[in-house]
Homo-oligomer: A and B are copies of this chain.
């Protein structure tokens, strides 16, 4: 038990220093290692396995809705990046530039993609000629680079991994429907797989993607009350199509510009999983993406029959869940602490007395509840308990968000809440940038979104007193 104590002691308590707790968990759960380049990360096997599980879920959903994967180049010529005015203004300040290839000084700089709208547009101009070529529903899995000053593993890194969907459509309506459809895919993945409740909504003009007409977002609240934008979906209208001269012959035999969208979810979501569900014992993983769903710990494993039984159970369980047995020399206590740190949803303890009684102990990671289960009931009990862990995590996260969501009808109240509480503040808003800026400067809050579920909190904007157009959610964000 000395080992176990040592391992647990080495994490900072989340209530003492949430940022340090995060860093500790990311490191101790062996999710990442620091890279030789400042601000980049190495995603270790355990972190990578979580991402692969998320990828599998998303990729299947994308393909089920007719999307196809492509692979686009890493480099964008400077002139191509500059084609859409708002887009280049948003991204040029934070890109990495390749200036030398081999021994050759390049005549035109190449940027390492921060996002690939410009490449997709250039390609669409090659392959879209007629309405018969539409829609093109593309996605790619890759990493992108943004030259960030301050970085934290998963949350903000110079390089991160993501998928970026890019689609082109005959009509604005179709593109708008695609934008909303993909936002709903993200919301579903967050809620049904990652156990993260999200608020669906639209970004303000100030917060929308560089070059987009509209940006939709799913916003999650972390354990500490801060917001994390979990995925975004953009509607571009025909702005990019015009800038890149993408045209198609329509059903009316005239040339038209098509309408585009893009949408993405990144490895940031792993940061959201950590900060939504984690606790002072480490990571807590939602069962749907946990690399190990059940860890079998043999107790008194030197006793005859224990390791054999553990192996028999592992084989049996592997038919319906991701299972591993730890047969190392470490003590059961040390192992308990290790797999708690790694956030494994269920622990199965099996020792000589259990074997005799034809049963085992199942311990839930989320609430540490233990259940004695007959060995011949594991096939139904384990899926039930995994679902219970998922539901428990979702409920706890939802409750945290509810407890930390406030409404305000005056600017004074907003400022007071912002300084006294950590969470979401919902108010009315006139829609003016000036008021949004004032909230940022005087209350230190940014707008998260105008939620799909609009509320009537009052008739006027609490900042300027003018008639309100929307309800809006404010917060501090990662």
Binding site for B on A (CB under 8 A): 33, 35-37, 40-45, 47-49, 51-52, 68-77, 80, 93-104, 109-110, 112, 119, 122-123, 126-127, 138, 142-143, 145, 147, 158-159, 161
Chain B min CB distance to A154 (Å) = 12
Chain B min CB distance to A269 (Å) = 14
A73 touches B119 (CB 8 A): no
When distances are taken between beta carbons in the complex, the residues of chain B under 8 Å from A97 are 98-101
When distances are taken between beta carbons in the complex, the residues of chain B under 8 Å from A104 are 147
Chain B min CB distance to A180 (Å) = 23
Measured CA separation A147–B45 after assembly (Å): 30
9 closest residue pairs by CB, A with B: A45-B68, A43-B71, A40-B73, A102-B147, A97-B100, A101-B147, A35-B73, A37-B75, A99-B99
Number of copies of this kind of chain in the complex: 2
**CB-defined A-B contacts under 8 Å, sample of 18:** A35-B73, A35-B119, A40-B73, A42-B71, A44-B70, A44-B127, A45-B69, A48-B70, A51-B71, A71-B143, A74-B74, A74-B112, A75-B96, A95-B101, A95-B102, A96-B102, A97-B100, A142-B143
B102 touches A41 (CB 8 A): no
Measured CA separation A72–B126 after assembly (Å): 33
Measured CA separation A36–B80 after assembly (Å): 8
Select one of B42, B49, B99, B138 contacting A123, CB under 8 A: B42
Measured CA separation A70–B159 after assembly (Å): 14
A73 touches B147 (CB 8 A): no
Measured CA separation A73–B101 after assembly (Å): 19
When distances are taken between beta carbons in the complex, the residues of chain B under 8 Å from A45 are 68-70, 138
Chain B min CB distance to A165 (Å) = 13
Measured CA separation A53–B145 after assembly (Å): 27
Best-buried of A80, A97, A122 by chain B (most CB within 10 Å): A97
When distances are taken between beta carbons in the complex, the residues of chain B under 8 Å from A70 are 42-45, 48
Chain B min CB distance to A207 (Å) = 21
Measured CA separation A45–B139 after assembly (Å): 9
Best-buried of A45, A71, A126 by chain B (most CB within 10 Å): A71
When distances are taken between beta carbons in the complex, the residues of chain B under 8 Å from A161 are 71
When distances are taken between beta carbons in the complex, the residues of chain B under 8 Å from A110 are 37, 96
Q: Which residue of B is nearest A80, CB measured?
A: B36
B49 touches A159 (CB 8 A): no
A159 touches B75 (CB 8 A): yes
Measured CA separation A126–B42 after assembly (Å): 11
A102 touches B98 (CB 8 A): no
A68 touches B49 (CB 8 A): yes
Chain B min CB distance to A318 (Å) = 13
Q: Which residue of B is nearest A79, CB measured?
A: B36
Chain B min CB distance to A37 (Å) = 5
Select one of B71, B103, B147 contacting A93, CB under 8 A: B103
When distances are taken between beta carbons in the complex, the residues of chain B under 8 Å from A100 are 96-97, 99, 109
When distances are taken between beta carbons in the complex, the residues of chain B under 8 Å from A119 are 35-36, 42
Beyond contacts A36-B122, A74-B143, A98-B112: 19 other A-B pairs, Cβ-Cβ < 8 A, are A33-B126, A36-B77, A36-B119, A37-B76, A37-B77, A41-B73, A42-B71, A45-B68, A47-B71, A48-B68, A48-B71, A52-B69, A74-B74, A74-B159, A94-B102, A96-B100, A96-B102, A97-B101, A102-B147
